[in-house]
Amino acid sequence: MNRNDLSTIKWSYVQQFASQLLGFGISIVLARLLSPTDFGLMGMIYIIFSISTVIIDSGLSISLMRMKNPAESDYSTVFLANLLIASGIYLLVYILAPYVSSFYQEEILTNLIRYLGLSMIIVATTSIYKVRFTKLLRFKTLTIITTFSTILGSTIGVYSALTGQGVWSIVYMQLTIVTVASISYFISSKWHPKFEFSISNLRKHLSFGYKLLIVQLMDTFFGNFYNIVIGKYFSTHVLGFFTRANTFNKTIVMGISSPLKQVLLPILSNYKDDQSKLTEIYEVVLYSVIIVMSPVLLYSAFFSETIFIFLFTDKWIEAAPFFSVICISFIFYPLNTFVYNFLNLKGKSNTVLKVDIIKKIVLVSSVVIALIYGDIFYLMYTMFITGLVDLFINLYLISRLFKIRIINQVIVLFRIVITPLLAVVITYFLSVSYQFIEFSITDRLILSLGIFLSLFLVGIRLINFEMITSYINTFKRYKSI
């Protein structure tokens, strides 16, 4: 990892930060204008488009990404394949839309699915452009396109919500964003697809991509598994609260970890045969991300009610308990990102598939048990249980890949998390003891956040100073290379 690698990470973070910040801002505005039921309706159909997007790509983009010098025929073949698959998937979704409406007993879903489904074909035209820009490390261009399309789409969405369009305002926003992005990619790229289609090239990419396709399908399905269960066995209103909490958590988690996922595979490929360098990258980059993520998620979990009332108004307060559980469950999520990237780099898609199957079996088993009790919060606690299982599976894989003992990893993670955990527990205790609830919502947020940050910084100085100094020195050394 050299200066160019650090610059790449910087621009990737700028891109993700701009996208997440804009998305977060618009989510606050729409949450204030729309109802939990509107978000619940979108939560019911989100899985359809998530799965469709995965099938359309079929792992082909990652296959292209890992190739050192893909030929023109590779790019054009994958582009045309994506477009053909997307058209077929849209036709299937169009036909099945009424059956989805019947499953959830919500008539409006038929038209929502059919109109929003058009985005699948549009997105299929952009995937190869993203691959090329990423391989060329043109993250600045990606940042500009993402920001521009999000601003324009968000403007349409807010205007629609203000004029009483309800859930349709989200549909209009999404269609505008993907359309503007598609046009922008076409204009910004010197490369454009040719009508070259090679069956042998497609087979080559599918031979690698089909295993990743299975993994991604499982991740997508089970990532939306709670939406299906809550929408079917509880209510659209409850699903709306869960969707709001889950989306907010993803904004935080993906804003911190997505840049890592986006640039890690290209960077790791430069050191594919240098085990010591790969281990160093693991320790510096991954632990640094968790150092940032853990205090954000722990504070959010303990003060979820204050945050939700401040940002979304008190009509969303029922989403706060969901948010607390989800935040705690995702503290070590970056471990997933790193492990999967490294296994893909080594071509061990079989291992990725086996590990994913184990994780999903644990998830389904715990959800089935929770449904027996019929309580929504038993269901939420299964997220925490599966998060712990994921953590220890990832620690085991890391111990095999990098020869780092599990107990040593646990000690490092404990040292990272103990500081923000102590800070937030003390802050929460003070907020209860001195009845912060009697203050205005703004004062509560400022006071609790101020106390937490003060305690956290003192704790960092006392407990984690040596570790953080080591990481900073490593980054400085890379910048001087």
Closest CA to 246 of 326, 331, 328, 324: 326
192: left (phi over 0), alpha (psi -120 to 50) or beta: beta
Could you report the per-residue pLDDT of 155-194, keeping only the tens digit for each? 999 999 999 999 999 999 999 999 999 999 888 888 777 7
The DSSP 8-state label assigned to residue 191 in this structure reads: -
**pLDDT on residue 153:** 93
Are residues 276 and 205 located together in one domain of the fold? no
Reported as a pLDDT band with limits 50, 70 and 90, residue 478 is very low
- Tokens, residue 70: 């893909």
Q: Do the domain assignments include residue 237? A: no
Q: Do the domain assignments include residue 235? A: no
**pLDDT on residue 134:** 75
Lowest average pLDDT, out of 6-15, 315-324, 430-439, goes to: 6-15
Q: Average pLDDT of 452-468?
A: 78
Q: Average pLDDT of 313-332?
A: 92
Neighbours of 316 (CB within 10 A): 23
**pLDDT on residue 376:** 85
What value does the mean pLDDT of the chain take?
81
- Tokens, residue 52: 């469709």
Give the end-to-end CA distance of the chain in Å, rounded to a whole number: 9
Q: Average pLDDT of 436-455?
A: 88
Q: Do the domain assignments include residue 248? A: no
Closest CA to 82 of 105, 61, 97, 102: 61
- Tokens, residue 264: 């890690």
Identify the residue whose tokens are 């709670």: 226
Amino acid identity for residue 68 in this structure:
K
**pLDDT on residue 222:** 80
Domain boundary residue, one of 224, 244, 262:
224
Are residues 203 and 277 located together in one domain of the fold? no
Are residues 174 and 26 located together in one domain of the fold? yes
Are residues 211 and 314 located together in one domain of the fold? no
The CA distance from 366 to 379, in Å, is 8
**pLDDT on residue 177:** 93
Q: Do the domain assignments include residue 257? A: no
**pLDDT on residue 481:** 46
Domain boundary residue, one of 224, 247, 279:
224
Domain boundary residue, one of 205, 224, 243:
224
Q: Average pLDDT of 431-454?
A: 86
Reported as a pLDDT band with limits 50, 70 and 90, residue 205 is low
Q: Do the domain assignments include residue 250? A: no
Number of structural domains the chain divides into: 2
Does the structure show a pLDDT above 60 at 442? yes
Cα-based torsion angle of the residue sequence 379, 384, 388, 393 in order, rounded to the nearest 10 degrees? 50
Its sign, for the CA torsion 439, 444, 448, 449, is: negative
Amino acid identity for residue 296 in this structure:
V
Closest CA to 217 of 53, 86, 347: 53
Reported as a pLDDT band with limits 50, 70 and 90, residue 273 is low
Q: Do the domain assignments include residue 239? A: no
Q: Are 49 and 117 in contact (CB under 8 A)?
A: yes
Q: Do the domain assignments include residue 367? A: yes
Could you report the per-residue pLDDT of 397-434, keeping only the tens digit for each? 878 877 778 888 888 888 888 989 999 999 999 888 87
**pLDDT on residue 480:** 47
Lowest average pLDDT, out of 224-233, 391-400, 412-421, 463-472, goes to: 463-472
The CA distance from 41 to 169, in Å, is 12
The DSSP 8-state label assigned to residue 68 in this structure reads: S
Does the structure show a pLDDT above 50 at 6? yes
Are residues 155 and 300 located together in one domain of the fold? no
Higher pLDDT, 230 or 433: 230
Q: Average pLDDT of 19-30?
A: 81
Are residues 68 and 172 located together in one domain of the fold? yes
Read off the pTM. Answer: 0.75
Does the structure show a pLDDT above 80 at 280? no
DSSP secondary structure letters along 381-408: HHHHHHHHHHHHHHHHHHHHHH---HHH
Reported as a pLDDT band with limits 50, 70 and 90, residue 265 is low
Does the structure show a pLDDT above 70 at 128? yes
Are residues 295 and 358 located together in one domain of the fold? yes
Q: Are 427 and 455 in contact (CB under 8 A)?
A: yes
Are residues 155 and 13 located together in one domain of the fold? yes
Are residues 298 and 395 located together in one domain of the fold? yes
Question: What's phi and psi for 189, nearest 5 deg?
Answer: -105, 140
The CA distance from 40 to 8, in Å, is 37
Are residues 333 and 215 located together in one domain of the fold? no
Q: Do the domain assignments include residue 192? A: yes
* Domain with 387 in it: 271-481
**pLDDT on residue 306:** 92
- Tokens, residue 157: 């969405």
